[in-house]
Amino acid sequence: MRRALRWDSSRDWSRPLKKLILAISDQQLVTGLAMLIGAFSQLNCGISFYHWQVATTLAWFASITHLATLPFLQEFLQRHNFLLCLRVMLMSGVAIMLSITLLRSGLPDAPAMCGTVANGSLAVSDWIKKDGMYTILSEIILLGTLITRLLRMFSRTSHLGIKAMRSARAKWQASIIWLCKMLQARSEWTAAAALWVPVVSLSALVSVQALLDFMRSRAWEVLWLLFSLVWGTIRLFAVRYGVQQDSDLLEESYWGFGQVIPVLLLLVPVLMFVESLSDLSSEKATDIPTRYENIQLLELRNGQHTQSTPSFQNELPVPLPAVSSNRPTPSASDSAYDRIIASCQCDFRSCPWYLDNQYFIISFIVGAAPVYLAFAASNLEQLNVYFVQYACSLLGGCCLCLSTIPLCGVLSTIERTRSKRRAFSIIRIIVDPGWAYRICRRVYYYTSPGLVVLSVIVAFKNWIFILRFPGIFVAFCTWIVFYMPPFLLSVFGAMYSLYWYV
């Protein structure tokens, strides 16, 4: 692709890309602000609730797209405080107005001024049953994204957050070490009976660290953006589908002056990107001295210039200095508590099971998000408390399964290395944590998204909704079928291995 486009690795391609992203960010910010101001200005003029919903949904797209560009402009905005403060003010204004517009509910052909919870025309209980759950979830998505972006945009708050997380991790590790030293001073039976407490605490620490690392990754940014955009798209199609029988509203499906102009204005960032590329291509490669020219200039200065051309094939790269590892390596004679203390000072981020945990989080989100979106598409006006119960239960099952991976990984780290199997080797093979972990890894690695989708498909069967609490029943079936067997297998095998040599 680089050869076809004649890309040169020596050129700085970050400048035109930053200009493109900055142009898209500014365009979407102004677009969302203009749509919301225009919608509020037409309230007293009798704007219908249908047009109000369309304007709100389009402003939703503009706001989410603008928020998605902020992580890539973080360093640029931190160097320009005036632009940062101006953008924060405009972002806050758009978010506040968009949050207010999401609270309105009413009939499509009714005036938007009449359909609001604030003036008491619609009871809160009826609003919750009709459109409240969608509004609550939309507010969480919008405000949660805005708050996290604001905290990361300011360098001071970003550094304070990182410092607070490191301090909390250090205190957590210190508490585990203190607990291990205290239990070591107890009797042998007391120390053996309470061994699982620091192990579970260390596993929870690793799980929280893995979750925070994922929340700060680019994968989470992309997944959250896709989910937000699809959520708004479903809402837009639902609004259009509800009024498709109205001939007056169907006239908006034809392209006219008001539809062509906004689409053509989307070419402005592309033109800025092309201009940046033209400036980049005008830079000649001869302006940058090559390696051979630098060597010749150096030899001329030292008076050692020769006619022969230096051969770069015989040049050997200078070896990098060896990086010393500060990880403690406990010996085989150390006790279990000494190994736990040594494991607290290890960095598990390079371990295969830690990377598997990151993959399982992504696979669960990829599998669960389409189910939530499909349910919202078919029952947008009936997102009731049962849906919330099932969603929370599904997330709890995911956390339950993911907690077994750090548990088995920590146990394999602190476990003694054996040169041979013991007498009950057959029993050990059955309940070995490594074996159980490998089984769960194979199953969830290939079928984790499919299992989540399959477990939720049961919710759409008619016989389940005969029960009074379908959300709780489906969540219970999901836990029993998909979550509990690997969880119990991993925990039983891990605890059996932990107490095997105590």
Q: Residue 111 — φ and ψ, nearest 5°? A: -65, 145
What integer pLDDT is reported at residue 78 of this predicted model? 82
Q: What pLDDT digit, counting tens, does each position of 115-128 carry?
A: 555 444 455 555 55
What pLDDT score was predicted for residue 488? 57
Measured between alpha carbons, how far is 259 from 430 in angstroms, rounded to an integer?
A: 66
In three-state secondary structure terms, 469 is: coil
- Single pTM value for the model: 0.65
pLDDT at residue 319 in the model = 41
Residue 365: name the closest of 432, 259, 449, 434 by CA: 449
Alpha carbons within 13 angstroms on the beta-carbon side of residue 478 total 30
Max avg pLDDT among 46-60, 332-346, 421-435: 46-60
CB burial of residue 483 (10 Å; 0-12, 13-18, 19+): buried
pLDDT grade for 455, boundaries at 50, 70 and 90 = low
pLDDT at 344 over 70: yes
φ, ψ for residue 399 (rounded to 5)?
A: -65, -35
pLDDT band at residue 50 under the 50/70/90 scheme:
confident
- Torsion angles phi and psi, residue 345, rounded to 5: -95, 5
Is the confidence at residue 62, as pLDDT, over 80?
A: yes
Between CA 389 and CA 195 the distance in angstroms is 35
Q: Per-residue pLDDT tens for 86-144?
A: 888 888 888 888 888 877 655 555 566 665 554 444 555 555 555 666 777 778 888 88
H-run or E-run covering 136: helix 133-153
pLDDT category of residue 392 using cuts at 50, 70 and 90 = low
pLDDT for position 198: 85
- What average pLDDT does the chain have? 68
Q: Determine the straight-line distance between the first and last CA of the chain, rounded to whole angstroms.
A: 59
| DSSP assigned state of 48 | B
Band of residue 186 on the pLDDT scale cut at 50, 70, 90: confident
Give the sign of the dihedral formed by CA 446, CA 448, CA 454, CA 455: positive
Burial of 450 (0-12, 13-18, 19+ CB in 10 A): exposed
Assess contact for 489 and 436: CB atoms under 8 A: yes
Residue 166 predicted with pLDDT over 80: yes
